[in-house]
Amino acid sequence: MSIAQTVSCLDGYDPDALRVDKAREAILACLTPIGESEKIPVKETLGRILAEDIVPRINVPAHDNSAMDGYAIRFSDVENPLKEIGAALAGKPFHGKLGPGECVRIMTGAVMPPGADTVVIQEIVKKQGDRITIPPAQKKAQNVRYAGEDLKIGVAVLGPGRFLKPADVGLIASLGIGEVRVRRRLRVAFFATGDELASIGTPLKEGEVYDSNRYTVGSMLARLGVEAIDMGVVRDDPALLEKAFREASQKADAVITTGGVSVGEADFVKQLMAKLGEVLFWKIAMRPGRPMAFGRIGDAFLFGLPGNPVAVMVTFYQFVRDALLHMSGREDAPIPLLQAAAAENLRKVPGRTEYQRGVLFRDGTEWKVRTTGQQGSGVLRSMSEANCFIVLEHERGQVKAGEPVSVQLFEGLA
Ligand code: AMP
Ligand code: MG
């Protein structure tokens, strides 16, 4: 099915006043994840996307073992004191067997000696020579970790689509697995368009600006872990643009451009796009970032972002990020929305979604958010100073100080 057919099936799709949620839905409806995968060492899997089930061939822990430093005992023993007959250390098991009235000194992680079923922590026992006195009210099986308690032989722990975090890398290593099948990295080509763009290293002529979009786009792509292909700045010249689009779509799974989709420029780009593939031009009910193009050139998906530096970042995070992660085969993509109290009144009109640049901060016990001030879509400093977007939903009007608002954090663990 063509892109136009796919998106026109969406209820409420209107290319000239497209709601943010509809635009997102339309994009995702058109995309399919790449199929190719590769096998790589576990050490290199951070940030990659799993392409297989991880199935333990051992139990973790492999043996019943002690969770604490103390004494391994037989719970059924009523005798007190007990006789200490040896020690079990991590990696150095005790090879005898506990008989009635006996106990073994045991360290965290050491294998439970045969016959023992309970561990008493060392802080509460009294020791005189090799005689150990245990206080009453111990519980059977306390402080013992059982074989397979974390991970069981044959039961998959991670599956395809999993974005691998530091804990996952460790988890795979804990199973003794050395190589992992992951999706190949998504290839994303990008370039900036505009006659006014100067490159770093050349002095600015009248009316020129330094191209910053390519640097923000390149940096945002780097964080997504895709293979980014920087194709430089392309002048607003049909022949040069055509060449760039052709080359990019051959090299990459996705192509991102900035500039050239605003009303003044769209016609010329539109004609070119129509010649090369299938591209839709949208006016999205959002601020910043209204104009945007989405479509397909050759086998590559195209994301034509606006030129304004803040609009580039907002449209990237709200549409392109999730689209690329979906294409990469990742299944946990959406950025979480949290709630915080507005620290000031916020101007907003219903009928569009706004992404104000915010600073989330702690005021006593409460998390509050304020804007970074000047919110123009060309003010990149507003992004630089912010640590979150304040997301003001489509229907929402003015916000009064103290009201809860949604925020999307720029940074997170993981
Ligand atoms: P456009 O969408 O091409 O009309 O561009 C809108 C605004 O963004 C203009 O003020 C451009 O100068 C600016 N702009 C476009 N591309 C870039 C870029 N790569 N770096 C910095 N500013 C840009
Ligand atoms: Mg332009």
Residue range 187-225, pLDDT digits in tens: 999 999 999 999 999 999 999 999 999 999 999 999 999
Burial of 171 (0-12, 13-18, 19+ CB in 10 A): buried
Ligand 2 centroid from CA 208, angstroms: 11
* Cα–Cα distance for residue pair 149/63, rounded to 1 Å: 10
Name the closest ligand to CA 262. Answer: 1
Query: Which whole-number Å values give the CA distances from 151 to 93, 161, 377, in the listed order?
Result: 22, 20, 50
Q: What is the pLDDT of residue 414?
A: 55
**Per DSSP, what are the bridge partners of residue 354?**
287, 392
Indicate whether residue 84 lines ligand 1 (CB < 6 A). no
Ligand 2 centroid from CA 66, angstroms: 66
pLDDT band for position 274 (cuts 50, 70, 90): confident
Q: How would DSSP label each residue in 54-97?
A: B--SS-BSSS-EESSSEEEE-TT---SSEEEEEEEBTTB---S-
Indicate whether residue 372 lines ligand 1 (CB < 6 A). no
pLDDT digits (tens, 9 = 90+) for 72-96: 999 998 778 999 999 999 999 999 9
Ligand 2 centroid from CA 184, angstroms: 33
Name the closest ligand to CA 195. Answer: 2
Of the candidates 362, 408, 403, 400, the one whose C-alpha atom is nearest the C-alpha of residue 383 is 408
H helical segments located in 175-320: 213-224, 238-251, 263-276, 309-315
Ligand 2 centroid from CA 169, angstroms: 44
Ligand 1 centroid from CA 230, angstroms: 17
Name the closest ligand to CA 307. Answer: 1
Element (H, E) at 230: strand 227-234
* Cα–Cα distance for residue pair 214/253, rounded to 1 Å: 18
pLDDT digits (tens, 9 = 90+) for 142-196: 999 999 999 999 999 999 999 999 999 999 999 999 999 999 999 999 999 999 9
Indicate whether residue 266 lines ligand 1 (CB < 6 A). no
* Cα–Cα distance for residue pair 403/328, rounded to 1 Å: 38
Residue of 199, 204, 208, 209 to test ligand 1 pocket, by largest number of atoms within 8 Å of CB: 209
Structure token digits, residue 99? 């008989």
Q: Which residue is closest in CA terms to ligand 1's atom 15?
A: 307
Write phi, then psi, for 382 (nearest 5 degrees).
-65, -30
Calculate mean pLDDT across residues 309-326: 96
The mean of the pLDDT values for the chain is: 94
pLDDT band for position 333 (cuts 50, 70, 90): low
Ligand 2 centroid from CA 195, angstroms: 7
Indicate whether residue 306 lines ligand 1 (CB < 6 A). yes
| Closest ligand 1 atom, residue 212 Cα | 20
Residue of 258, 267, 381 to test ligand 1 pocket, by largest number of atoms within 8 Å of CB: 258
Name the closest ligand to CA 197. Answer: 1
pLDDT digits (tens, 9 = 90+) for 112-148: 999 999 999 999 999 999 999 999 889 999 999 999 9
Indicate whether residue 209 lines ligand 1 (CB < 6 A). yes
Q: What is the pLDDT of residue 12?
A: 86
- Cβ contacts of 167 within 8 Å, gap of 6 or more: none
Q: Which residue is closest in CA terms to ligand 1's atom 10?
A: 308
Ligand 1 centroid from CA 262, angstroms: 10
Of the candidates 316, 201, 320, the one whose C-alpha atom is nearest the C-alpha of residue 253 is 320
pLDDT band for position 263 (cuts 50, 70, 90): confident
Name the closest ligand to CA 263. Answer: 1
Indicate whether residue 212 lines ligand 1 (CB < 6 A). yes
| Closest ligand 1 atom, residue 261 Cα | 2
Of the candidates 66, 64, 82, the one whose C-alpha atom is nearest the C-alpha of residue 74 is 82
